[in-house]
Amino acid sequence: MVYLDHAATTPVRPEVLADLTDGFGVLGNASSLHAAGRQARRVVEEARETVADALGCTPHEVVFTSGGTEADNLAVKGLYWARNAQDPARRRILVSAVEHHAVLDPARWMADHQGAVVEELPVDACGRLSPETLRAAIERDPADVALVSVMWANNEVGTVQPVAELAAVAAEYGIWFHTDAVQAVGAEEVDFAASGVSALSLTGHKLGGPVGVGALLLARGVDPVPMLHGGGQERDIRSGTLTTPLLRGFATAVRLAVAERAEHTAHVAALRDELVAAVRAAVPDVRVNGHPTERLAGIANLGFPGCEGDALLMLLDARGICCSAGSACTAGVAQASHVLLAMGADPDTAREALRFSLGRDSTADDVKALAEAIGPAVERAREARARRRS
C-alpha cells in the first residue's frame, strides 16, 4: 500500500506507541486523591507541561480534549456563549469560507439554534483571507462581533493563513480570535503567545499521536462556557475522566513533531515537488491548487480536467494508492469541495481535484508508484466521465 493521505491521519510513532502500551497497564484516575490517582495526575500534568513547552504557552493555558473536533466546537460555541453573555449585542461569528467543517458546522448550528449571525469571509484564488477583508467585516459594526475563527493552515489545499496579522486585527477591537491549527502543528512554526491568538485547536493523530486526544489552548482571561458538565476536570472547562495514557502519548507526539519540524518539512517538501513534477509529466494539463509559496510542505492538491475526483480516487485505490478527494470527514459525500468553490472554482472543476499528502514515512518509491499509476488512471476516469455525459 502506498499511503498518500497523511493529512487525514498519520501512523502512530513508535515512541508514542511505547507510551501508550506502558500507560494502559497502569491503574489510576487522575482525579482520585490516593497514591494511584496522584501518580496518574503527575502523568497528566507532565503531559500538559510538555505540550505547553512545545507550543509557546503556559501549562494553565492547555485544556485537554478528545481531539480537534471537540476543541473547535468548544471554541466556537463556548467562546460565543461567553462573549454573548457578557454583551448580548455581540452576536456575529466571523469565519473564513475555507474552514474545516469542525468550525463551519458548529458556527452554522449556532446561527440556527442560538441566535448567532455567521459570516463566511471570502478568500482569494489561493485560499487566503486578507487582513483587510477581516477588518472591513469587523468595521461594519465592531460592537456586535463575538468571535473570529480562521484556520492556521488549510487541510485540503495546504494554504497557510496570515494568522498573526489576522489576530492582530481582531485584537484591535477587543475580539477573541480562534485558530484551528490541526494541520499546522509540526508542519509550521506554531508559537501560541507570539501568534497573538486567543484560542488554538490541535489534535494528536495528525502528528504521529493517537486518535482520540487533542487540546484547546486558551489565553488567560479567555474562558469559554463549557459544553460538557460533570466532574469539573480541566478547570471546569471540559469535564470528563482524563485518559492518562493518551495524554502521555499525545504530549510525546507534540514534542517530537515540534522538535523535528525543520527536518520533516524539508523532507516532505522535496517529495511534494517530486510528486507534482511526476504527475505533471504524466498529465500535462494537471492544475495545482492553493498558494504557490504560503502552503504546507506536505500537501499537493491537484486538479485533473475531465475527471471525477471520486472515480479517480477509486482507480488509484485499486492500484494500492491511498489519497483523498478532500477532507476525510466528508469522504463519500458526493459534493464539490467547499474550499475550492470558495477559491473561485466552478462545481465541475472543484470535483476534479485530489489531495495527496505526505508524512514522515513517505518515500521516493511512493512518488514513483503514483507516477506509474496516474496516467492510465486519468485516462480511464476521463473515458468514464465522457461516457456518462454522452
Cα(306)–Cα(348) distance, integer angstroms:
9
Q: What is the pLDDT along the chain (390 residues), one digit of tens a residue?
A: 999 999 999 999 999 999 999 999 999 999 999 999 999 999 999 999 999 999 999 999 999 999 999 999 999 999 999 999 999 999 999 999 999 999 999 999 999 999 999 999 999 999 999 999 999 999 999 999 999 999 999 999 999 999 999 999 999 999 999 999 999 999 999 999 999 999 999 999 999 999 999 999 999 999 999 999 999 999 999 999 999 999 999 999 999 999 999 999 999 999 999 999 999 999 999 999 999 999 999 999 999 999 999 999 999 999 999 999 875 555 555 689 999 999 999 999 999 999 999 999 999 999 999 999 999 999 999 998 888 887
Q: How far is CA 332 from CA 2, 27, 59, in A?
A: 20, 40, 39
Report yes or no: 369 and 3 within 8 Å, Cβ to Cβ: no
- 3-class DSSP state of 241: coil
C-alpha angle 332-372-384 in degrees, rounded to nearest 5 = 45
Distances 324 to 54, 160, 302, 354, 358 between C-alpha atoms, Å: 30, 19, 11, 6, 12
Give SS3 for 346. Answer: coil
Beta strands in 319-360 (DSSP E): 321-322, 353-357
Superfamily of chain region 2-9+261-389: Aspartate Aminotransferase, domain 1 (3.90.1150.10)
Q: What is the largest CA-CA distance in the chain?
A: 73
| 329: annotated active-site residue | yes
Count Cβ atoms below 10 Å from residue 45 Cβ, excluding itself. 14
How many angstroms separate the CA atoms of 93 and 105, rounded? 12
pLDDT in tens, 58-70: 999 999 999 999 9
Per-residue CA distances from 45 to 41, 50, 114 (Å)? 6, 9, 35
C-alpha cell at 361: 514515512
With CA atoms as reference, report the closest residue to 142 among 151, 131, 134, 132: 134
pLDDT in tens, 228-247: 999 999 999 999 999 999 99
- Helix, strand, coil share of the chain (percent; to 5): 45, 15, 40
Backbone angles phi, psi at 252, to 5 degrees: -60, -45
Looking at 57, 307, 323, 329, which residue is catalytic? 329
- DSSP secondary structure code for residue 31 in this structure: T
Strand (E) or helix (H) holding 200: strand 199-203
User: Closest Cα to residue 157, out of 125, 111, 179?
Assistant: 125
Cell of 357: 499528502
Distance CA 312, CA 304 (A): 9
Could you tell me the three cell numbers for 261? 519540524
Q: How many CB atoms lie within 10 A of CB 60?
A: 11
DSSP β-bridge partners for residue 202: 215
